[in-house]
Copies of this chain bind each other. A is one copy, B any other.
Amino acid sequence: MSASLPGADRDRPHPQLNRHGELVHLLSTEGLPRSILQHVLDTARNFVSVSDREVKKVPLLRGKSVFNLFFENSTRTRTTFEIAATRLSADIINLDIARSSTSKGESLLDTIANLSAMAADIFVVRHSASGAPYLIARHVAPHVHVINAGDGRHAHPTQALLDMYTIQHYKGDFANLVVAIVGDVLHSRVARSDIHALRTLGCAELRVVGPKTLVPGDVAEMGVRVCHSLDEGLRGCDVVIMLRLQNERMNGALLPSSQEFFKTYGLTPDKLLLAKPDAIVMHPGPINRGVEIDSAVVEGRQSVILPQVTFGIAVRMAVMSIVAGNEA
């Protein structure tokens, strides 16, 4: 009689795709075929114009229920999903999970089963524990689609997809591009998701740049070039992706100080001259001006940080409309 059993683990061959190879959950850019990534980018292109219209809405998800499940607070990311869902005409339920029944001792999976029973269509999940969205996707009722909005240090696939959209928008094909990811790679789920996406999309050369303490040991195995010198990392590159220095995540002394970091790895107009003259500068935000990036670069002609935000809405609209259209 019971609808969906928290105990029953629906193992499928691929955690994100159905048996037709279609996207039903977006959990990570890792393991997704190039065709799926490209399909998201192509779909997003159609949605970019929606935000410019007089009436910024399409009726694609009318009457669908999107639940924002932010176990870790992030007003900014939650807002982008809320706007994306609203522009698809979906109904949004924002759950302040930190104050809800999980604090009454209910398990994550019971919370999820309960919300599924309210006829949810999409769960947008942010969680401080790596893998939580996978756990949820494995146990969720078949009519629910899960989108990972950032889990621990693991993945942030919609950020990576909007980064890919931005690169493709300004640079076209990935085949000839040199991309540098600079900064606190160790703590960055954005970096990890970007690396997987860039490799799948055929990026010619991928560099990660940072001090030894902030570049994980296994990153070289991911087929990237590790540079501990910013000059080496930037030289001749087409795209610079700066990472936020995750002050709030650092325990202990991985770094001498943020001023010290800026001196060695901060992106200044001078340093940027090492990259190609038409190189673009990206950042997932929020920015620490004067820590990982100089204000003059943020506001300079090569910065595409605000267009990233704009494209992010379209990319999230694309992901939601794609998964909602595919049956588990």
Contact = CB atoms under 8 A, between A and B. Distances in A.
Interface of A: 1-8, 51-57, 62-65, 73, 75-76, 79-80, 82-83, 86-87, 91, 93, 95-97, 99-101, 104-107, 110-111, 113-119, 170, 247-248, 280, 285-289, 295, 298-307, 309-310, 312-313
The complex is assembled from copies of this chain, and their number is: 3
Nearest to A75: B100
A36 B94 CA distance: 33
B288 A105 contact: yes
A93 B303 CA distance: 27
A202 B124 CA distance: 44
A286 B65 contact: no
A310 B118 contact: yes
Contact of A301 (B1, B6, B82, B286): B1
Given A1-B301, A79-B93, A99-B75, A57 B51 contact: no
B65 A54 contact: no
A305 B114 CA distance: 9
A87 B64 CA distance: 9
Contact of A118 (B99, B114, B313): B313
Given A2-B307, A56-B64, 20 more contacts: A1-B307, A2-B299, A2-B300, A3-B310, A6-B298, A7-B295, A51-B118, A63-B87, A75-B97, A76-B100, A76-B101, A101-B286, A104-B248, A105-B286, A106-B285, A106-B286, A110-B285, A114-B309, A117-B309, A119-B313
25 contacts: A1-B301, A2-B307, A4-B306, A7-B299, A53-B63, A56-B65, A56-B91, A57-B91, A65-B86, A75-B95, A76-B114, A83-B118, A87-B91, A101-B285, A105-B247, A105-B288, A107-B289, A113-B306, A114-B286, A114-B309, A117-B307, A117-B309, A118-B313, A119-B310, A119-B313
